[in-house]
Amino acid sequence: MIKTWMLLVVVGSVLLSSGGYIQVKAIAAQWMLEQAWKNTLEQHALSADLYQKPWPWADTWPVAKLKLGDSNQMIVLDGVSGNALAFGPGRMHGAGNVEHGLVVMAGHRDTHFSSLKTLVLGDEISMQSKEGTWTEYRVSDISIVDTNTHMIDMSVGDLDHAQLMLVTCYPFDEIQSGGPMRYVVTAEVI
């Protein structure tokens, strides 16, 4: 009897801390990334091809800064692999040219991109490139898509306006991960 409750408390603590760790890591990493981003912007003047790794063994690095609304800022990482998304939203790999294309960024619904649900049509989003310039977008479409039937076409785009697409999991309050639905916010350059 004694062993059962102890075990439950221990298991509970482990689960709590691993759940909490994901959240803590997401917050702590952004602070580290902020430093790396500052260095990236600074070093850009020296060499256009330099990126700053946030910590020595990182396999990703900051590529942009994203501002949702007035206050919510975050550093966007290279790639959308699980280990990148743990630290910040990621920019999807593809090909093409930002002037005529669409930038795709994905983030976890329970950490960095939880704030996507508060966005409404017409809201402003800004993105800073490593050149330091800010691009302003306005939310033009919000859709919920099923990943079983939809994919993203990564071929070189020929859109009239450059677009920014933010992807996160849906529904927001779903407790389990791995569902097929995605919440997709599309914003057009102003």
Partner 1 sequence: MDTVHRSNRLIWWQGRREDILMLVAIFLLLTGYSFSAQAVEPKALSISTTMDQVESGRLLFKRLLTNSRPIKYYPATLLSEEVDIAVSGLIVTARLKQQFKNDTDDWLEAVYAFPLPENSALYLMEMKVGERVIIGEIKEKSQAKKIYQQAKKVGKKASLVEQHRPNLFTNNIANIPPGETIEIILEYNQVLDYQQGAFELRFPLTTTPRYLPGQRISGGEIAIDTSTGWSLPTDQVPDAHLVSPFTIPLNSMAKPSHKVSLSVEINTGFPVLEINSISHAVVVQPEESPNQDIYNISLKDGETAMDRDFVLSWKPQTGVSPKAALFSETWKGEIYSLLMVMPPQQLSGDMTLPREQVFVIDTSGSMGGESIRQARLALDKALNSLKPSDRFNVIEFNSTTHSLYSSSVPANTQNINHALNYVRRLNANGGTEMASALQAALSDDVYPGYLRQVVFITDGSVGNESALFKQIEKTLAESRLFTIGIGSAPNSYFMRKAAEIGRGSFTYISDLNEVESKLEGLFKKLSAPVLSDLTFRAELDSDNEQFESYPLLVSDLYLGEPVIQVIKHKVQMDEKSTSVDKFKLSANSIGLHHSSTPLWEQSINMAGAKQAKGIATFWGRQKIESLMDSQNLGTVNKDQFRQQVLDVALKHHLVSPYTSLVAVEKVISRPADSISRTDAVPQLLPKGSGQRMARFPQTATSSRLYVLLGLICYLIGIGMFYQHHSTAAFRGVTND
Q: Which residues contact 22 (CB under 8 A, 6 or more apart)?
A: 86, 110, 111
- By beta-carbon proximity to partner 1, the closer residue of 68 and 130 is 130
Report long-range pairs for 83-86 (Cβ below 8 Å, ≥24 apart): 83/59, 84/59, 84/60, 86/22, 86/25, 86/26, 86/29
Q: Considering the complex, what minimum distance in angstroms separates the CB of residue 45 from partner 1?
A: 9
Between 68 and 109, CB nearer to partner 1: 109
Q: Which of 122, 127, 55 is nearest to 91 (CA)?
A: 127
- The whole-angstrom separation of Cα 162 and Cα 160 is 7
Q: CB 30 → partner 1: shortest distance, Å?
A: 12
Nearer CB in complex with partner 1: 122/178 = 178
Q: How far is the CB of 126 from partner 1 (least distance, A)?
A: 13
Least Cβ distance, residue 184 to partner 1 (angstroms): 8
For residues 76 and 62, the answer to whether their CB atoms sit within 8 Å is: yes
Smallest distance from partner 1 to CB 127, Å: 8
Asked whether the beta carbons of 164 and 105 are under 8 A apart, the reply is yes
Residue (25 or 69) nearer to partner 1, CB = 25
Q: How far apart are CA 78 and CA 91, in angstroms?
A: 5
Find tokens 């994203």 and name the residue.
66
Nearer of residues 12 and 69 to partner 1, judged by Cβ:
12
